[in-house]
Amino acid sequence: MDKAQIPFNWKETCLFQRNSNLYTFSRDPLFKKIQFTHIYMPWDDSIENELMFKIKADITELGKVFIPLMNFNQKGFDISVQEFETINNQLTHGGGETHLIMTNLKSIHIFRVQKIVKRNGVKDKNINKIFQKNKYNYWLVVDDVFVLDVDHMGDEEGLIDNLNCFIQEDQVQNIFRVPHSTNNDNEGTSNFRWIEFNRNLTYDYFIRNSELKANIFQDSWEHLGRSTQHYLITCELERQKCVFYRDQEKWAHLKQAFCAYKNALVAELNEIYILPLVVAIGSFESLFEAWNVVKAGLSNSKSTDLIEEVLDGKQTQIDDLEDILLFSKNSKSLYYSLKNQFAKKFHKEEYLLIENFLAKQDSLVNTFECRHLPENVKLIIDIEDWIKFMDKQIQAGKANDLKGANLKLSHLVSLMISTHHDDNIFFKLLEEKMSKGSVQKSFADEVKSLNIAKIKKAA
């Protein structure tokens, strides 16, 4: 299982290992890195040009499908008994994501692997007819897919570099979001699935992604969560459309742009302040036991109820900004009580790791207040309330200054996604996430990056 196989020959199917650390964003992680085994499979589009479209359609219709372990020519690829057991145990007890990565050097698709089965465990109804031509010994059950990259520019080398970076870098955030149920029974619970998200990597999507990465967020773009990135790109797509519309149609697109921005904010707040605690509670039995003790003893149960809904899989995140602010306000007592459960326990390394993790999350709440992030979040809530009021005015035919409302909302959305540190809340969130004083480049830094001295010397 050598991850160096892929850079040298992208046509070879292989298993590879990738370090995973999802509890902290620090370069010196509090938790030990865990190695997860993943599967890489290329595919030959001369055999089936629309393979990815057909697989995605099957997942949408059936919920999950079987994909055989195969080589570039769609012949069977066998693994050892030990490799099969490693993947199977990882899927059953690992607590992390297992990825199937597929590419034809025109796009990179990442599938979420739910199970690995032998031939006798395959259900015919979940097999596409494409795979019925050959007999395969091993099959992967997948239930979601994330498109990592699409080559719009004919840059095959760039796509390979993107593939190599994804495989070789440590995983510090999940791509897929699933209910964090502690009883492993997630049937019938709400779920965030990319397959249902209508994420279409068009050329316009690619351009907006490139602009945000190069001009707005620069070196910090990749530190944003995948769902956060998607919502911000959607916000920009909607904002750009507004140029071509007037009156109520313009208002509708501006509202969609604002809604996408708000969804990005909700996703990132959960990524930093909510989900690490939820994942840790679900991963460590001692923390789960401490959680139950603390939950029963706290007088204000609203904040614990919010976490419990995510922990039980009823929600994949806290979706309301007011609720996130409520949790942050009451979390000091929660973390204090949780830390007390481990304060005098030194005989297991796990206890020290958990105590350190809780201290880190507690410090994040402190800096959340110090950076005046609650005030920034409240501003977004105020804009949302104003939009709701204007909607009622428009529906009642009382919107006397719709043009003025469009100009105001357009200006606000532009500020919210600008390079202005005080206007774009994501700069502060990234500083929290990356443990940096500032992630924003100054105008002088931008000009210096042009390397004017070198240009003058060449002239």
- Which pLDDT value is given to residue 32? 57
Q: How many CB atoms lie within 10 A of CB 302?
A: 12
- Which pLDDT value is given to residue 437? 63
pLDDT over 80 (residue 31): no
pLDDT over 50 (residue 4): no
Q: Which residue's entry shows tokens 């990825």?
A: 99
Which of 242-246, 365-369, 376-380, 396-400 has the least mean pLDDT?
396-400
Q: Where are the beta strands (DSSP E) in 29-106?
A: 34-42, 65-68, 99-103
- Which pLDDT value is given to residue 183? 44
Closest by CA position to 94, among listed 105, 107, 85: 85
Contact indicator for 316, 177 with CB cutoff of 8 Å? yes
Q: Which residue's entry shows tokens 């109820």?
A: 305
Q: How does the average pLDDT of the chain come out, rounded? A: 86
Which of 186-190, 319-323, 399-403 has the least mean pLDDT?
186-190
Rounded average pLDDT over 316-327: 94
pLDDT over 60 (residue 5): no
Structure token digits, residue 90:
């990882």
Which of 30-39, 94-103, 130-139 has the least mean pLDDT?
30-39
Contact indicator for 277, 238 with CB cutoff of 8 Å? no
For 163-177, write each residue's pLDDT tens digit.
Answer: 998 998 888 788 987
pLDDT over 70 (residue 97): yes
Which of 111-115, 339-343, 375-379 has the least mean pLDDT?
339-343
Q: 451: which residues sit within 8 A by CB, 6+ positions away? A: none
Q: Which residue has the higher pLDDT, 424 or 183?
A: 424
Q: How many CB atoms lie within 10 A of CB 458?
A: 7
Percent of the chain whose predicted confidence (pLDDT) is above 70:
86
- Which pLDDT value is given to residue 189? 38
Structure token digits, residue 58:
């099957």
- Which pLDDT value is given to residue 398? 78
For 117-129, write each residue's pLDDT tens digit.
Answer: 998 888 777 888 8
285 CB-contact burial (10 Å; exposed 0-12 / middle 13-18 / buried 19+):
exposed
Strands ordered across the beta sheet of 138-150: 14-20, 34-42, 99-103, 107-118, 138-150, 65-68
Closest by CA position to 383, among listed 417, 360, 349: 417
- Which pLDDT value is given to residue 89? 93
| Torsion over CA: 129, 134, 139, 140 (sign) | negative
For 240-284, write each residue's pLDDT tens digit.
Answer: 999 899 999 999 999 999 999 999 999 999 999 998 898 888 878
- Which pLDDT value is given to residue 124? 76
Query: Which DSSP category does 194 fall into?
Result: G
pLDDT over 60 (residue 346): yes
Q: Give the alpha-carbon dihedral of 273, 279, 284, 290, to 10 degrees.
A: 50
- Which pLDDT value is given to residue 81? 95
- Which pLDDT value is given to residue 344? 74
- Which pLDDT value is given to residue 405? 93
For 300-318, write each residue's pLDDT tens digit.
Answer: 678 888 999 998 888 889 9
